[in-house]
Amino acid sequence: MIRPIAIALVATGLATACRTPTPIGTPTATPAHAIVPLPESIQISAGRGFTVTPQSVIVVPRDDARVAAIGRYLSQWIGIAAAPQPPPVENGGPSIPPASIVLTLGTSPAAPEAYELTVTADRVTIAASQPAGLFYGVQTLRQLLPPFVEYGGVRPDASRPVLAPAAHIADAPRFAWRGAMLDVARHFFTTDDVKRYIDLISLYKLNRLHLHLADDQGWRLEILSWPELTRTGGRTQVGGGAGGFYTQRDYAELVAYAAQRFVTIVPEIDMPGHTNAALTSYAELNCNGRAPEPYTGIDVGFSAVCVERDATYRFIDDVVREIASMTPGPYLHIGGDEVKTLTRDQYAAFINRVQRIVESHGKRVVGWDEIGAADLLPTSIVQHWRPKESPAALAARGVKVIVSAANRMYLDMKYDATTALGLNWAAYIEVRDAYDWDPAALLAPAPESSIVGVEAPLWSETTATMRDVEFLAFPRLAAVAEIGWSRREHRSWNEFKGRLAAQAPRWTALGVNFYRSPQVPW
Ligand code: TNX
């Protein structure tokens, strides 16, 4: 039996919703709903919808802090009282007040991250077997509500009701790994910037934030046993700006913020290449024992730690140990890309040794697809990025793959030749290019189970501010989210572009600087 804690809503809207059902897949200028990513099954009915009223409560089970936190998260979008109320008890048992939003954790739906959302005139119910499922149910409900809820702290009144259409949704993701990567090394982004990115990606049910924490141009995470990494290596960025870094406390704050939104932080320390910031901080990591000058350009491939020196492996062991101890998630990304100064044997031996270091600190290796040249541990995950290297051969070896194909998923690629920001070495990627393809085709004939999921990297050579980042990420990140979550056979560009257009007022309310692609009927 549920013993509810009631969270009172301050709301007065009383209007009703009336929608006509529209089958999924029908191209339509005014979609029946604008949920991104597309749920597995959705029925919107013409009946009276749900309206938040002054009597509405968000009901969460007692004694479950995780679900209570999800209830508080939902409350911020719909104008809310802060204090939980004791359960109203009638006839000796708890009763649920009218116009409630009820979050229940049970045994069904059983699939990881799955949820079921039912909206009727007098109640909204979200059911899941894991808190993550409840969180995704809440994100879906948020998208059924009017875009103005995104301003936050809305106090609805009768002239502007907060309502959701009557609906039944049963939903679960296609892939377990639905990621975004932010390069905080080429340009530094503050903890507030990163939190904003976490907020935006989690609206679309992405669940991994890969932070590219070290590269030639900057080292961004405090390592107590090697303090010059941030003291020296943290002070630069592309173009010569001041750079910056996260203290271990900042990082813990990011990990916690992400966890509340069911996002796992995946820290990356790129090695053996892309290491000039470390090499300039510590002379002993260089084969010639001399520290190079700091680097603020955008070339790649010129740097590498000295793979023949013991100091290098002491350094890596210390760095991995400290990061592993601050990272509750199971993954540690070791980079491994674009090394032009080592032989193949040197490179493979280095990756083999680093894999064992990472494993000894209890973490699972993720690396860019070049690490396929090493003897991969069964737990290691390869991140496919180079368009010309097929990941099918890796999958045939039984390797698990994250698909980040640069010509489809790199958010730092320009939309077209006129885009002011970004690069174009892999492709121009308009919104349709980002959406209208499928990762399973890249790995065929290997089964879909070889794919852990998808991830969209955003390299920051050309992006200095969050405004820049948002312009490249939106709307393409929403396309990536749908590829990661929704079934291939349910996806169609013609239908998607209508739902994408309907995100615009939401993004405007959130202050997102998005690209108004001519392909989308905004
Ligand atoms: C390739 S993707 C890189 C990065 C660059 C990016 C720019 C990868 C593993 N390496 O170092 O920033 O291209 O698009």
pLDDT tens digits, 7-26: 332 222 223 333 334 444 44
Distance 91 CA to ligand 1 centre (A): 65
Q: What is the mean pLDDT of residues 145-153?
A: 89
Looking at residue 98, its pLDDT comes to 83
Is residue 293 within 8 Å of 233, Cβ to Cβ? Answer: no
The predicted structure's pLDDT at residue 31: 65
In percent, the amount of the chain with pLDDT more than 90 equals 85
Tens digit of pLDDT for each residue in 403-428?
999 999 999 999 999 999 999 999 99
Reported as a pLDDT band with limits 50, 70 and 90, residue 53 is confident
* pLDDT confidence band for 180 (50 / 70 / 90): very high
Locate the ligand 1 atom nearest the alpha carbon of residue 425 and give its number. Answer: 14
Closest CA to 85 of 1, 3, 149: 3
| Each residue's pLDDT tens digit, 182-200 | 999 999 999 999 999 999 9
- Measured from the Cα of 274, ligand 1's closest atom is 11
Residue pair 304/275 in contact by the 8 Å Cβ criterion? yes
Average pLDDT of the chain, as a whole number: 91
Residue whose CA is at the smallest distance from ligand 1 atom 5: 459
Dist. CA 177 → ligand 1 center (Å) = 20
pLDDT in tens, 363-397: 999 999 999 999 999 999 999 999 999 999 999 99
- pLDDT tens for 55-76 read 888 999 888 999 999 999 999 9
Instruction: Return the pLDDT at 107.
Output: 96
List the residue whose alpha carbon is closest to atom 8 of ligand 1. 337
Q: Amino acid identity, residue 116?
A: E
pLDDT at residue 96, rounded to an integer: 82
Distance CA 45, CA 162 (A): 18
- Tell me the best of 216, 295, 303, 337 to mutate to test the pocket of ligand 1, counting ligand atoms within 8 Å of each CB and taking the most: 337
Please state, in angstroms and rounded to a whole number, the distance separating the CA atoms of residues 417 and 415: 7
For ligand 1, mutation pick of 181, 300, 413 (most atoms within 8 Å of CB):
300
Q: What is the pLDDT of residue 152?
A: 81
* Residue 16 pLDDT: 30
**Phi, psi for 278 (deg, rounded to 5):** -75, -40
Both tokens assigned to 281: 């901080």
CA 176 to ligand 1 centroid distance, Å: 24
Instruction: Note the pLDDT of residue 88.
Output: 58
Point out the ligand 1 atom lying closest to the alpha carbon of residue 383: 9
Ligand 1 nearest-atom number relative to CA 338: 10
Q: How far apart are CA 488 and CA 13, in angstroms?
A: 38
- Closest residue by Cα to atom 12, ligand 1, is 459
Confidence of residue 37 (pLDDT cuts 50, 70, 90): very high
Q: What is the CA radius of gyration of the chain?
A: 24
Query: Model-level pTM?
Result: 0.93
Closest CA to ligand 1's atom 10: 337
**Distance from residue 427's CA to the centre of ligand 1 (Å):** 13
Atom from ligand 1 closest to the CA of residue 300: 11
pLDDT digits (tens, 9 = 90+) for 349-370: 999 999 999 999 999 999 999 9
**Comparison of pLDDT for 201 and 52, the residue scoring more:** 201
How many Cα atoms are found within 13 Å in the side-chain-facing hemisphere of 219?
23
Say which residue the tokens 């980042």 belong to: 469
With 0-12 / 13-18 / 19 or more C-beta atoms within 10 angstroms meaning exposed / middle / buried, residue 388 is exposed
In this prediction, residue 84 carries a pLDDT of 52
Distance 517 CA to ligand 1 centre (A): 24
pLDDT tens digits, one per residue of 247-262: 999 999 999 999 999 9
* pLDDT at position 161: 86
Q: Which of 274 and 152 is assigned the larger pLDDT? A: 274
Coil, strand or helix: which one is 480?
helix
Contacts of 28 (CB under 8 A, 6+ apart): 22, 495, 498
- CA-closest candidate to residue 74, choices 121, 7, 155: 7
**Tell me: the pLDDT tens digits for 299-358?**
999 999 999 999 999 999 999 999 999 999 999 999 999 999 999 999 999 999 999 999
Q: What is the dihedral of CA 72, 76, 81, 86, to 10 degrees?
A: -20
- The mean pLDDT of 474-496, rounded to a whole number, is 98
Measured CA to CA, the distance from residue 109 to residue 176 in angstroms comes to 16
What are the angstrom distances between the C-alpha of 45 and each of 6, 38, 88, 141, 167?
Answer: 28, 17, 31, 15, 6
Distance, in Å, from the CA atom of 322 to the CA atom of 285, rounded to the nearest integer, reads: 18
Token representation of residue 255: 């990990």
- In one-letter notation, the amino acid at residue 17 is A
Rounded mean pLDDT of 125-149?
Answer: 97
| Angle, CA 204 vertex, CA 490 and CA 471 arms, to 5° | 110
Rounded to the nearest angstrom, the distance between the alpha carbon of 41 and the centre of ligand 1 is: 37
Spatial separation of the C-alpha atoms in residues 351 and 307, rounded to whole Å: 10
Instruction: Select the more confidently predicted residue: 153 or 296.
Output: 296
In this structure, the residues whose C-beta lies within 6 A of any atom of ligand 1 are 300, 337-338, 368, 385, 410, 412, 423, 459, 461
pLDDT digits (tens, 9 = 90+) for 235-292: 999 999 999 999 999 999 999 999 999 999 999 999 999 999 999 999 999 999 999 9
Reduced to 3 states (helix: H, G, I; strand: E, B; else coil), residue 112 is coil
Mutate to test the pocket of ligand 1, among 302, 338, 403 (most ligand atoms within 8 A of CB): 338
Q: Say what the alpha-carbon torsion angle 489, 494, 495, 497 is, to the nearest 10 degrees.
A: 120
Active site residues: 338
Tell me how many helices (H) and strands (E) the chain has.
Answer: 16, 22
Question: Predicted confidence band at 515 (pLDDT cuts at 50, 70, 90)?
Answer: very high
Q: How far apart are CA 472 and CA 419, in angstroms?
A: 9
Let me know the angle formed at the C-alpha of 55 by 49 and 61, rounded to the nearest 5 degrees. Answer: 90
Strands annotated E in 80-130? 80-85, 89-90, 93-94, 100-105, 115-119, 123-128
Whole-number pLDDT of residue 113? 98
pLDDT for 464 beyond 60: yes
How far apart CA 262 and CA 139 sit, in angstroms, is: 12
Q: How far apart are CA 335 and CA 313, in angstroms?
A: 16
User: 83-92, 315-324, 470-479, 484-493 — which is least confidently predicted?
Assistant: 83-92
Q: What is the pLDDT of residue 489?
A: 97
How far is residue 307 from each of residues 94, 169, 359, measured CA to CA in Å?
A: 65, 53, 19
- Judge whether residue 87 has pLDDT over 70: no
Residue 430 token pair: 């308009």
- Residue of minimum CA distance from atom 13 in ligand 1: 459
Q: What is the pLDDT of residue 83?
A: 31
User: How many of the other CB atoms lie within 10 Å of CB of 436?
Assistant: 17
Total Cβ atoms within 10 A of residue 466: 20
